């Protein structure tokens, strides 16, 4: 039987490439659609690459026509919180209009299964709360705002065009492919774990810890970290949920355990045996104090269970990949 095709926007990026590998192993053919502005050609190993930009509706339509996918996984987005505070229009334009083009193209092509990569940033700064899918959404930056807008578009298209969708709001993603074939590499890099590992390896100057005056036990921000492998396993479960006709659903993805920046630095030193060069800087605009997920719905409805999402495992897997050839800029 011919493999079922999945249109994967942003499949050359960090999370998208890991999703493509898992999709291929599960009998799907992932077709990566990516403009390679932040993704890497070397990461596309598990299916065809179709270069293009989501703002180019004709190009998106052409790929749907050629491959006739049964579903979409939408990862492509601008995702730097700090940048979204500085140039909000860029985020509203590219994230929202790009997603709208993709959603309309999917509906027009008769592809009515859509898995969307959203974010906990839609909730805003909800200190001392464990966030559930029913927590009010009040984003405090343009990145979170743009993702919330796309969620609204999906609901409207579901009501009008029967576009079944699964929305995943997830927390800080870390780690790398356990087999070290693909990993996390951004330019510029903004994520804590790769910043630590690059600083240890001498590939960058000391990283900056943004703020040590938060209302937390050690003064640094607290985040819920989830392994990229666990994350993409949830996406494939969400895809199968849709293909089984179970309808639209929203899921948080996290572990329910928060770790501070200082705790992550300590864990990195334990795993690698090396101190992490770092400086202390002021808070960044748009950063929340504490973001921790409640993922009971994903566990009960999807049967999802994060298996690799310990700090030591995430850092060890990332370190193994970063110690290899990686991607070359």
Distance CA 196, CA 315 (A): 10
The residues assigned a catalytic role are 143
CB 251 within 8 A of CB 302: yes
Q: Which residues contact 255 (CB under 8 A, 6 or more apart)?
A: 224, 225, 226, 293, 295, 306, 309
CB atoms within 10 A of CB 156: 12
Please choose, from the candidates 183, 307, 297, the residue with its C-alpha nearest in 3D space to the C-alpha of residue 233: 307
Please report how the helices 192-200 and 261-272 are oriented relative to each other, as an axis angle in degrees rounded to 10.
Answer: 40
Please report how the helices 98-108 and 142-161 are oriented relative to each other, as an axis angle in degrees rounded to 10.
Answer: 20
Question: 172 vs 51, 118, 244, 253, CA distance in Å?
Answer: 28, 12, 29, 10
Residue 312 token pair: 């030591």
CB 293 within 8 A of CB 284: no
């Amino acid at each position: 039987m011919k493999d079922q095709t999945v249109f994967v926007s942003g499949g050359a990026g960090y999370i998208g490439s890991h999703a493509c590998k898992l999709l291929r192993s599960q009998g799907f053919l992932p077709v990566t659609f990516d403009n390679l502005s932040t993704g890497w050609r070397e990461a596309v190993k598990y299916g065809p690459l179709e270069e293009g930009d989501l703002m180019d509706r004709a190009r998106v339509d052409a790929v749907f026509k050629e491959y006739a996918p049964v579903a979409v996984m939408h990862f492509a987005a601008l995702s730097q919180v700090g940048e979204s505070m500085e140039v909000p229009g860029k985020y509203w334009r590219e994230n929202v209009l790009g997603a709208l083009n993709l959603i309309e193209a999917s509906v027009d092509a008769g592809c009515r299964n859509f898995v969307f990569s959203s974010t906990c940033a839609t909730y805003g700064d909800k200190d001392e709360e464990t966030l559930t899918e029913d927590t009010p959404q009040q984003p405090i930056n343009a990145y979170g705002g743009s993702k919330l807008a796309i969620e609204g578009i999906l609901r409207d298209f579901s009501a009008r065009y029967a576009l079944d969708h699964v929305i995943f709001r997830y927390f800080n993603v870390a780690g790398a492919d356990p087999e070290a074939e693909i990993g996390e590499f951004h330019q510029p890099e903004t994520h804590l774990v790769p910043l630590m590992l690059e600083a240890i390896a001498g590939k960058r100057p000391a990283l900056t810890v943004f703020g040590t005056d938060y209302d937390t036990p050690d003064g640094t921000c607290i985040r819920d970290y989830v392994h990229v492998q666990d994350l993409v396993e949830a996406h494939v479960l969400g895809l199968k949920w849709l293909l089984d006709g179970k309808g639209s659903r929203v899921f948080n993805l996290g572990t329910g355990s928060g770790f501070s920046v200082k705790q992550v630095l300590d864990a990195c030193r334990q795993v690698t045996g090396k101190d992490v060069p770092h400086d202390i800087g002021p808070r960044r605009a748009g950063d929340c104090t504490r973001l921790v997920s409640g993922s009971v719905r994903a566990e009960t409805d999807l049967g999802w269970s994060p298996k690799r999402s310990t700090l030591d495992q995430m850092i060890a897997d990332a370190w193994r990949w970063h110690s290899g050839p990686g991607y070359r800029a």
